[in-house]
Structure 1
Amino acid sequence: EAPDDRPPERPGAARPPFEVPDGYPLAGYRAGAFLGAGAWGSVYAAEGPDGTPVAVKILGPARSSPGQRRTMAQMAAGELRFSRRADHPHLIRTLAVVTVDDPGHPELDGAVALVMERAAHSLQDLLATARPGTPLPGAERILTEVCAGLTHMHRAGWVHGDLKPANILLMPDGTAKIADFGLTAELEGTHAYAPPLGSPDHVPPEWWSQRTGARGVAVRPSADVWAFGVIAHQLLTGGLHPFLGATARARSLAAQSYARGAAPLRLDQALPVRWRPVV
């Protein structure tokens, strides 16, 4: 699908787009409370046979075209493949992937479910309650841990492709872990190829002019580095984006102007001095 046609993100949605019955079995786990919804599905709490807490992300087929269902299946398979090959303490582990086969629940039949480690909340949750101009508590430690996970990915030959606050999770002990590897792609030389999806506030300027080929769009590790710079600015300034604009589209246009050399980078005054060269 074209970049501007992707479904809207709904962080913190109050209601799931489809219901998963309490105790519903998925890959040996039993679903529990609804935790939240995003662009492609819902996340539920779940428990294993031994009571181990996990999260289940369900990519539902409802109202999805055949092409979208294929994309979801590819993203789920890619997430599991990456998780098995790139284990790291600052990367969320995907434990299992299953396609639901249940004609008795048509809203779930054909859905793809990913079982993963359960976090306490995301950076997006923290930013939603942040005070502008004030760094988030533990911001520097969180950024250091994100950087460690990202460095591991890049050294292993992978590009995340969708780094943003909603995809950085904080575990119950406060440890930061990168999550959501549906767009993660393996490098082939200097580039990897991924579907033309992403968060407008965190994709690099060249993303907007990339042509989509048969294998998707070309992405480089520098796309993750760009996103990390934006996230660092947000965490250290209480949620302020480094590019001004009332909408994501306006901010992306400001980023493109900066990339062309047509506008300077105006870092917010709240950004600590020693972090300015990093960002």
Structure 2
Amino acid sequence: MFNLLKTAVLMAAITALFMAIGATLGGRTGMMLALAVALAMNFFSYWYSDKLVLKMYRAREVDAGSAPQFHAMVRELAQRAGLPMPRVYLIDEAAPNAFATGRNPENAAVAATTGILRVLTERELRGVMAHELAHVKHRDILISTISATMAGAISMLANFAMFFGGRDSEGRPTNPIVSIAVMLLAPIAASLIQMAISRAREFEADRGGAEISGDPQALASALEKIHRYAHGVPMEAAERHPETAQMMIVNPLSGGGLRGLFSTHPSTEERVARLLAMR
């Protein structure tokens, strides 16, 4: 129930941002048009955002025949977690990372990069996939997927508004300073919404993943290893779609600046410390 409430609050907040940008672009008419677009986006995100994210990453579905060991690992962990078997995907990326998506446990998918299969030991990989299944079990995969697609849409709309300028309710050009402020602050606000939601989710998924796998040390070791690689091996798909970075088990974006300031992930050091304290 709490995650359903969080999803509703997320949708309402994103809708409000859409309306603010719409009002800047076209006054009352623009605000109402933006509301209609936001409602359509919310509907689309609920039903199709998982497919969109998987397509962004060019993920390919695998089964017991094409990836027998990996598929069997996910099946065994899903059974331990009391979950339906999710769809399993691989992403052809050298950077090690993984994520879960879908609107509920019955329509879930887990995806991992080919890099993570090469870098991690079987024990560490098991801890990572248990973490992703914990996201599924906690029913917060919908929140992360919706926030990713909607934040991307807000950034595009803000860029559009920045280029074409804004109008008030009577069709007159708005104050350019106000317009610029709205266009700059809207994507930041979307990032803050993602950050507030995602950081708490990661701690809970770490704890849940450790319980599912029965091996918190393996997940802690995996997080440290993935974190080290994330700074040296860029994840190209995530760099193209930075709004989806909060879905990953470790932040895949390179560089610092605002990306570091508005990181959707808690520090790896704190996550590892909490896991090791579970021993």
TM-score under structure 1 normalisation? 0.29
Relative to its length, the structure with more strand (as a share) is 1
TM-score under structure 2 normalisation? 0.29
Q: Which has the higher contact order (CA 8 A, sep 6+)?
A: 2
Highest Rg: 1 or 2? 2
